[in-house]
Each structure stands twice: as C-alpha cells, then as structure tokens.
Amino acid sequence: MELVAGFTAENIFYHLGGKFRGSYRPLNENIQNGRIRGVAGVVGCDNPKMGSGAYHVALVKELIKNDCLVIQTGCAAIECAKEGLLRPETAFEIAGDGLKEVCKAVGIPPVLHVGACVDTGSQPLTDYITKDIEKLVGGKWAFIEDPLDAAHAMIAHIDKKRKVLKLQPMLYTQAFPAQV
C-alpha cells in the first residue's frame, strides 16, 4: 500500500507557506476566493455493517470531488489509503478543479493524513491526555513500550484510585503488590 502521511497542525504551516513564510494564509485565501469549499474531518473507526471502509471511501471521494480538503485520522484513513486516496496522484484524478489547483500549487495532497486516532504527534495534546486530563476525568493515557511495564503502570494507577476511595486491600496475594 502506498500513501503519503505525516501531516500535523504544526508542520502544515511549513507545507502551506514554506520555512520562512509559514501560515494558514494560502488555505484561508483559497477558501475565501472559492477554490476550496472548506475543510472536512473524516476520522475514526470502521464499521463492518457499512461495508468495511466503503462508507469512508465514498464519503471522502464525494468531498474532494466537491472541492473540500479532507483531514483524516485512524482507521478511516487506512481504509481510504487502501483505495489509493492517500496517494496524491490518485486523489488528483478525483478532486475538483479548485482543490486540485491549490494542492498542486502548495504541494499537498487533497486528503491529509494527520496520524493515528490516538497519536497526532502534537506535544500539547500528548501532555493533555497523559497528564492534565486526569484532573478532569480521573483517568489518563499512557504510552509505554513494554507491555508488562504498561500493565504495572495501569495497576499502580488503579491502586492509587482504590486508596483515594478508601477501599479494602485486595483479598488475595497479588503477583504485583500495591505500590501505594
């Protein structure tokens, strides 16, 4: 499968304006002047009931045909990649004239893959979901390479919450004893 991916909120400045003139201006101006109709996000899970990817593929094709720039993440993006929609050459065959003109001028494809649904590569988002979100919902995300280290970090987090709730100690001996 061939695809172009790796776009982020940060590096799209560079793609749009170059190293010394990075900005959203080319995008904004071409939305205002009617070459690009708008920007549409098509993200998230696939649904086998809807024909395994068929829904996302049809949706994205129709959007770019009608001059909407598409932003994708997650499994929706993978399904579109399998159909070749993340290959600029294929997407240009379908895209409307205005969208095609702008994308070719600035060197971006009509469908921008901004990463996995759980990892956009953005440091502020990573900080939020691994730290700050805990104050709001009590849980948080973690990115740990070793599966046992990951399990132990999750168990330690649960133990911390058990302690706050003043729950009973675990009834039976634990392979990984409480750390708090």
Contact positions toward ligand SF4, by CB under 6 A?
A: 44-45, 74-75, 117
Radius of gyration of the chain (CA): 22
Min dist. Cβ of residue 9 to ligand SF4 (A): 18
Nearer to ligand SF4, 44 or 96 (CB): 44
Min dist. Cβ of residue 117 to ligand SF4 (A): 3
Min dist. Cβ of residue 138 to ligand SF4 (A): 21
Nearer to ligand SF4, 44 or 121 (CB): 44
Min dist. Cβ of residue 44 to ligand SF4 (A): 5
Min dist. Cβ of residue 45 to ligand SF4 (A): 3
Is residue 79 exposed (0-12), middle (13-18) or buried (19+ Cβ within 10 Å)? Answer: buried
User: d(Cα 179, Cα 4) in Å, to the nearest integer?
Assistant: 44
Nearer to ligand SF4, 53 or 74 (CB): 74
Beta-sheet pairing, 38-42 with 111-113: unpaired
Nearer to ligand SF4, 75 or 155 (CB): 75
Read off the DSSP letter of residue 166: T
- What does the DSSP assignment read for 13-72? HHHHHTTTS--SHHHHHHHHTTSS-EEEEE-S---GGGTTTHHHHHHHHHHHHTTEEEEE
Nearer to ligand SF4, 58 or 105 (CB): 58
User: d(Cα 119, Cα 112) in Å, to the nearest integer?
Assistant: 15
Q: What are the backbone angles phi and psi of residue 106, rounded to the nearest 5°?
A: -95, -10
